[in-house]
Structure 1
Amino acid sequence: MGKTYCHPAMKQLKDQQTRYAPKERRLEQVERAEQLLGEIDRTKRYPYDYLCFRITGFRPDNWSALMIEGDEARRDLRQFVEDLSATVRQPVEQATEPVLTVDEVSKKYNVSTRTVTRWRRQGLVARRFVIDGRAKVGFLESSLQRFVAEHRGQVERGSRFRQLTDAEKDEIIRRARRMSQFRSGEVGLIEIARRIARKMARSTETVRLTLKAYDREHPDRAIFGPSTTPLDDDAKAQIYLRHRMGVSAENLAVEYGRTRSSVYRIINEVRAQRILETKLEFIGNESFDDSKAKSVIMAPLPAPADGKAPRRPKAPKGLPPYLASLYEVPLLDREQEAHLFRQMNYLKSEAVKLREKLDPAKAKTAALDKIDELQEQALAVKNQIIRANLRLVVSIAKRHVGPMNNFFELVSDGNMSLIRAVEKFDYARGNKFSTYASWAIMKNYARTIPEENYRRDRFVTGHEEMFEAAADNRIDEHEYESALKRMQEAIRGMLDRLDDREKMIITSRFGLGGASERTLEQLGRELGITKERVRQIESRGVDKLRRIAGEQKLDLPML
């Protein structure tokens, strides 16, 4: 099996269960995933939340709209079973039924270990067990029997395998040469090997290896000479992206006229380049170089210093769901905070060490997987710190709310300052993060709020001008007051033609009739509707006023 998933949602599910589910729960999920695998129809589509529910017993909040093709679901479930079982490290003696190793399956069915590997790619479900003190691939007897029942003809052909005779080798070479000349440039080695295998009742891999050996031994008469045209960066990027989308290396090799191994090298090269291009910074510490300190750094989050479970405060009534959810995350004490910051920076430092040794031209899949794993773990710890401090942003934003400052925009801006503060904070100095983050957020507000107010004062005129005529110094004061009075009466008459909700929103939004100006959020809470709905009603009301003004031939500024 490869290490990639067809859908990131399934990999995310595996990572979540690896981090948070206890060992017994993970083992149960492996069993449920394999049971579900036997029910999946390749020709149907399945909602991701259904697959997640069958495996874990809960429905996810994200990826709810994702639909997965049956064939891709089967592949991801096989990968999920193998990956999650590897984290359990179950001794083979504790398995609920007999387990066969790759070598034992090979001997039982009289096939090569390479054939067993090919069976895994075709649907044989593998798990990881601890066998003789080492983690190895194993197959439950029930899983093996199910695969044999579904692929009986293929298994029987493999069991009857015998070495090729010289005459059969000559026949394979003759057929391949004729097919390559007849359809030159249209089909590659894999497709020709597949067609010959069907004709001669042999495996595709046997025919392919025979042709590769012939070309290697007879370079002057090679049927499939090596491609000498180098691929440009765009072509390499396309190979990488298409492989990420589920296109097999074999198909890409045929399409681009390359060997499968060269396709894998290209994929690793592009992947390594993208890893190196990703910015990764960390705050170093001398303990990172002490190998004995790793177990302490990577230990689970310590309990609160006072020994009491963190109390989750009750969210005030009337808060939007986003703000109410912040009260579900417990705050961190000083020791917990330092532990998480040290762990995050340690994971980043380990990733940087591996990146420094990375040569894109010689990158190995295992090394790239390890770097990705370290960066994902560091991101998970960073998100844990951020979630525990989001309430701090809200409390500071509330103190900066004014008539011209939108609360949710302040929260969004403050969240960005918080994220930057997490990246820059040095826990080793002994300061509490909340002090550092508060300073960073308020410093950002001190810069952005005056800038925003300046732009508003510089480029936006007052709302009252929409409904009041500007003074004209060329007429006397009495004439101006009379004109203004007539205009205000006309406006009141126009407002009376709006429905009650439109009139209330227009009056409150523009401070008419002595009313104070109110924000979209304030009006939304009072009316029990969303901010966007208030904005739509306001826009509809202004459009009506424009039409009425046009009918009455009134010249109202800014309408």
Structure 2
Amino acid sequence: MGKAYCHPAMKQLKDQQTRYAPKERRLEQVEKAEQLLSEIDQAKRYPYDYVCFRITGFRPDAWSALMLEGHEVQRDLRLFVEDLSATVRQPVEQATEPVLTVGEVSKKYNVSTRTVTRWRRQGLVARRFVIDGRAKVGFLESSLERFVADHRGQVERGSKFRQLTDAERDEIIRRARRMSQFRPGEVGLVEIARRIARKMARSTETVRLTLKSYDREHPDRAIFGPSTTPLDDDAKAQIYLRHKMGVSAEVLATQYHRTRTSIYRLINEVRATRLLETKLEFIDNESFGLTSSRKTILAPLPAPADGKPPRRPRAPKGLPPYLASLYEVPLLDREQEAHLFRQMNYLKHQAVALREKIDPAKVKTTDLDRIEELQEQALAVKNQIIRSNLRLVVSIAKRHVGPSNNFFELVSDGNMSLIRAVEKFDYARGNKFSTYASWAIMKNYARTIPEENYRRDRFVTGHEEMFEAAADNRMDEHEYESALKRMQEAIKGMLDRLDDRERLIITSRFGLGGAAERTLEQLGRELGITKERVRQIESRGVDKLRKIAGEQKLDLPML
């Protein structure tokens, strides 16, 4: 039986009792847990503090708002009983009722020990006793009788098991060959075994092992072909990528000698692995565990507290379209701000809770879809918060602009600080986000601006100041932008006299001809050279442009 608890709270409870409860108390808790297990309805939900109280007699401070699904409680209680009983090391002679070992259950019901192990996964409660000086799995007679009463049909089928006759074996092989040829590549060994077992009143495992044995003994006439080796991570990633590009699962199944079902399983495995590798953080809140809070948290954005429509300040004249558009987004009041932050973190909390439960090798597509949906919803709320506060970045950047600091680079840097602030802000403390974000942005400027000035002084080549010195301290950034545009128009006609690399760097650095402005580091990665080498080529190109401007008697103050 697997040792993974459905919820860490139950494992934590087991660890606490193992560490602190005396032996007699642990044995009593095992009895209470098994009694509670017989009362659990897997279709219902149970508060964790109720489960803990039934076992230990006290209600916990932690996990008090946690709700557990009934089927999860059943699994965790079976693990709890087995794990905690193992720490007691109770001699089988001291048990209050008869105890049967795995072998004795096997003989009593005329089933294999593998079938008994399967019964344990399906709900048969096991404890650990000291039998003949060794710790072994045992079943109380009452627990066994309760399982048999709940699974009578299954137990009877197992008890009536008989060896396959040659005729039955031939019939299984005939049916399997016909099914595999009818829809090749779409139905695999397990599915065919399941269908044959249903028609012949046999267990799926019996049919599957029969077919595997036949293929092994008759490789020249094998129904399912030679067994394929497990695919490595690169092959799985390739299957995932090709499926995203539109290649059907049927085609992939044929090319990789797999069934269509196994291809879908591999795709989900890669998808789940990549999803789990993506870091997802949130600020927790005790209300997130309350079912009653869900409707309130996910409600639409409330109207302003004063009842007035959102105020949209008029954008200052002369702003570029990008900056002017920021003033079209209405500001948030304190209640609206808290609502959005609570909603964003709640959606992330829900996504993380689902992510902790999935096993990449067995995950369902619906679970992955739900997780991605929650993450996308959280991102949409986050973007709404960011858009409502972008003008704050512009306001702070304007106060830090200077002759050596590009206004738009300050805005870009400030936007990154704003995004990090949204991730780290705890709305439950009652502070206004603008106060927290302003502090984060100014703190970042206080660190990055001196560093940038140091780098300029450290790596100066003698030509950078030709662009910077022309900026008048009395100019605001809008006047500077107008002068820059005039300079760009004049330079366009001279670019043909530069070599290809110089032209690319000058064009990209200053956004000439509609090109997007790029940093030294971005250009260095594209050209395969260092950032300092890009700076030197840029300076050389500027020097050439300056010389050409002198020859043509062009008045370009920026040069």
TM superposition score normalised by structure 1: 0.50
CA deviation map 1:281-340 (0-9, x unaligned): 000000011110110000000000000110212222221111011011101000000000
Identity of aligned residues (%): 69
Matches within 5 A, 1:439-454: 439-454=439-454
Deviations 1:189-211 (A, max 9, x none): 34999xxxxxxxxxxx99xx99x
**Distance in 2 between the 1:544 and 1:270 partners?**
52
- What one-letter code is carried by the residue in structure 2 that aligns with 1:332? L
Is the CA contact 2:417–2:444 (under 8 Å) kept in the aligned structure 1? yes
1:356-395 aligned within 5 A: 356-395=356-395
Distance 1:527 1:409, change over 3 A: closer
Measured in 2, the distance between the counterparts of 1:368 and 1:174 equals 35
- Please name the residue that 1:525 is paired with: 482
**Alpha-carbon separation, structure 2, partners of 1:350 and 1:380:** 15
- Please tell me the residue identity of whatever aligns with 1:410: L
Distance in 2 (alpha carbons) for counterparts of 1:519 and 1:363? 57
Where in structure 2 are the equivalents of 1:92-241 lying within 5 Å?
189-190=184-185, 218-219=211-212, 220=214, 221-225=221-225, 227-241=227-241
The code of the aligned residue for 2:374 comes to L
Show the counterpart of 1:118. none
Q: Which residue of 2 aligns with 1:345?
A: 345
Q: Aligned in 2, Cα 1:396/1:518: closer, same or farther, shift over 3 Å?
A: closer
Q: 1:295 to 1:268 in 2, by over 3 A?
A: same
Q: 1:244 to 1:511 in 2, by over 3 A?
A: closer
| CA displacement 1:158-183 (0-9 Å, x = unmatched) | xxxxxxxxxxx989969988x9xxxx
Corresponding residue of 1:313: 313
Partner of 1:543: 544
- State the partner residue of 1:250: 250
Distance 1:240 1:174 in 2: 31
- 1:459 Cα deviation from its structure 2 partner: 2.1
Q: Aligned-pair distance for 1:366?
A: 1.1
Corresponding residue for 2:111?
A: none
CA distance in 1 between counterparts of 2:295 and 2:477 reads 52
Following superposition, the deviation at residue 362 of structure 1 comes to 1.0
> d(CA) in 2 for partners of 1:342 and 1:247?
41
Give the secondary structure class of the aligned counterpart of 2:313.
coil
**Counterpart in the other structure of 1:282:** 282
Q: Distance in 1 between matches of 2:365 and 2:175?
A: 37
Give the equivalent residue in structure 1 for 2:92: none
SS in structure 1 of the partner of residue 361 of structure 2: helix
TM-score with structure 2 setting the length? 0.50
Match of 1:329 in 2: 329
Structure 2: distance between partners of 1:379 and 1:278? 13
| Structure-1 separation of matches of 2:339 and 2:253 | 47
Distance 1:437 1:517, change over 3 A: closer
State the Cα distance separating 1:458 from its structure 2 match. Answer: 2.3
State the Cα distance separating 1:227 from its structure 2 match: 3.3
Q: Give the Cα–Cα distance (whole angstroms) in 2 for the partners of residues 327 and 190 of structure 1.
A: 58
* Partners of 1:297 and 1:343 within 8 A in 2: yes
Q: In the alignment, which residue of structure 2 is the partner of 1:81?
A: none
- Residues 537 and 320 (structure 1 numbering): CA distance in 2 closer, same or farther, change over 3 Å? farther
Task: In structure 2, list runs of 5 or more residues that go unmatched.
Answer: 1-172, 201-206, 215-220, 498-541, 553-558
1: distance between equivalents of 2:550 and 2:329?
53
CA positional deviation for 1:361 = 1.1
- State the shift of 1:266 in Å: 0.6
Which whole-Å deviations, capped at 9, do the CAs of 1:47-66 have from their partners, x for residues lacking one? xxxxxxxxxxxxxxxxxxxx
What is the deviation of 1:241?
A: 1.1
Q: Hey, what's the Cα distance between the residues in 2 that align with 1:537 and 1:349?
A: 57
CA distance in 2, matches of 1:367, 1:521: 51
Q: How many residues align?
A: 319
SS at match of 2:243: helix
Paired residue for 2:515? none
